[in-house]
Chains A and B, each alone.
Chain A
Amino acid sequence: MTEVLAGLVAPFADIASSPRFFAEVLIGGVAAGLMYSLVALGFVLIFKASGVFNFAQGVMVLFAALTLVGLIERGIPVAVALALTVLVMVLLAFAIERIVLRPLVNQEYIILFMATIGLNFFLEGFGEMVWGANVKRLDVGIPDTSFKVAGVLVNRLELTAAVTAAVLVTALAVFFQKTRIGRALRAVADDHEAALSIGIPLRTIWTVVWSVAGLVAIVAGIMWGAKSGVQFSLSLIALKALPVLILGGFTSVPGAIAGGLIIGVGEKIAEVYWGPLVGGAIENWFAYVLALAFLLFRPQGLFGERIIERV
């Protein structure tokens, strides 16, 4: 018993004895966390505006990255390929609104959720059929190398990803608060019928929001793809956005960021310091179990609106 305790406590001593290494682990966690946040952002956008829990967001990330890489591989200049990818994601948003969402409007949320699971499978098969299933390298021109700040190693790619994520989040926040369409989106999120009655076109809003989620997916896809290659496991990593959402709350943009950071940092620290005790690979489930524990105490998430049940 004392041995087990000692084993659990020893990592704390490791942390204290080597603060620099700890800082590096921390930074790695933040970088991974921001990636999760990027995927989670797509979920939050769609959930806020349409109440749909889009399980396919992870595959949208994969699909966007596959499209981009596929186009570049066929010799199209990067800028043009990027523009085409944006076009593809917007077309996809139109198609999803028309084929999946419109016939299912007013269905129970659980039905819509399962429909996005179907979408998830379809897109995965479709993307791989068009672009091939082998692992592809995505070169965005930023070297995957590190430099030292105050004796701590910082990865250039991760830094770029962090900055991009921060810019994107700020832009989205401004978009929601300041623009007309942003305000319309928030109105729809609050009350569908009320928004309809004052003349906000619901279908347009849905298309817009799925398009924006598609753009966020492109950014996330580029970042993930540059780091670990474009392959199927991207969509599995994206599944981790789910616990992120539970921590952050389904309706909160800052929540998605904070949740992503908590999960990213938490699982890195757990893996590096406590993982060896139980044979490693606890990254696979740590996020979910953390979310599960969290759900029991604060079901609405850190920043989500309190769920009040009306009787």
Chain B
Amino acid sequence: MSGATPGPLLEVDGVSVRFGALLALQQVSLTVQPGEVLAIIGPNGAGKTTLLNVISGFYHPYQGRIRFAGRDRTWLRPPDVAALGIARTFQNVALFRGMSVLDNIMTGRLLRMRGNVLLDALWWGPARRQELEHRAFVERIIDFLEIQAIRKTPAGRLPYGLQKRVELARALAAEPQLLLLDEPMAGMNVEEKEDMCRFILDVNDEFDTTIALIEHDMGVVMDISDRVIVLDYGRKIADGTPEQVRKDQAVLDAYLGVAHD
């Protein structure tokens, strides 16, 4: 496998997840192509967040495989997944509330920091140098997401919309190849949503980051995604461009509540 054959960045192949008797995901297969913005939609309880959790290593499927950049990644734990270049945000914002915004975003650089405890303890030589290099990088992201003014504010004191933005900044600081966003616009007003859409598209453009996101706002989904996948009751029921999905009968049934047989 090499960069010469541009295969899918992420391949989910026949993955099933169960919690006790509940089948949260059944035989779900999908691919994420390099450079695209993929939206995952579906009614509540369709298994969207579970899918992200499987990809980021919190749950492991009892069936099926996950491949990232052509290699099998089914059994990795979250920190290993992060090391591969997958970053994510959470539905209910999982910031480090006691830390400043700057420190929160700096944690995104942790995987790229090296060194040993002794040098850290002395704040000397390479330890000090890398701290400053990463600070410079983080400042670029702070500028990019327009959160300069809140740099030193503890994350827990920010309003919800800004917390979501800081969480995005933290994920971006890791320079991921694949960015998973779990409802990045939930609970935002129209203005904040517009800002967030712009940021997502800019990230996709400027950093060339592949993005997979879960979103409920159909208008947003249709606007920003290249491709849409629909889940319902743990199954994939549609996969295509926004226009195709919009007209799909199975999708309409799922959202309008037609009985399943």
Contact = CB atoms under 8 A, between A and B. Distances in A.
Q: Do chains A and B touch in the complex (CB under 8 A)?
A: yes
A311 B90 CA distance: 8
Contacts of A311: 49, 53, 58, 90
Interface residues of B, number: 4
A306 B90 CA distance: 24
Interface string B49-77: 10001000010000000000000000000
Interface in A297-311: 311
Contacts of B90: 311
Nearest to A308: B19
Nearest to B78: A311
A114 to B, nearest CB: 16
A311 B88 CA distance: 12
A311 B53 CA distance: 8
A105 B49 CA distance: 31
Interface string A89-101: 0000000000000
Contacts of B58: 311
B98 to A, nearest CB: 11
Interface in A273-311: 311
Contacts of B49: 311
Interface string B31-50: 00000000000000000010
Nearest to A309: B58
A239 to B, nearest CB: 30
B165 to A, nearest CB: 21
Nearest to B53: A311
B88 to A, nearest CB: 10
A207 B90 CA distance: 38
A310 to B, nearest CB: 10
A311 B49 CA distance: 9
Interface string A214-228: 000000000000000
- Nearest 4 A/B pairs, CB to CB: A311-B58, A311-B53, A311-B90, A311-B49
4 contacts: A311-B49, A311-B53, A311-B58, A311-B90
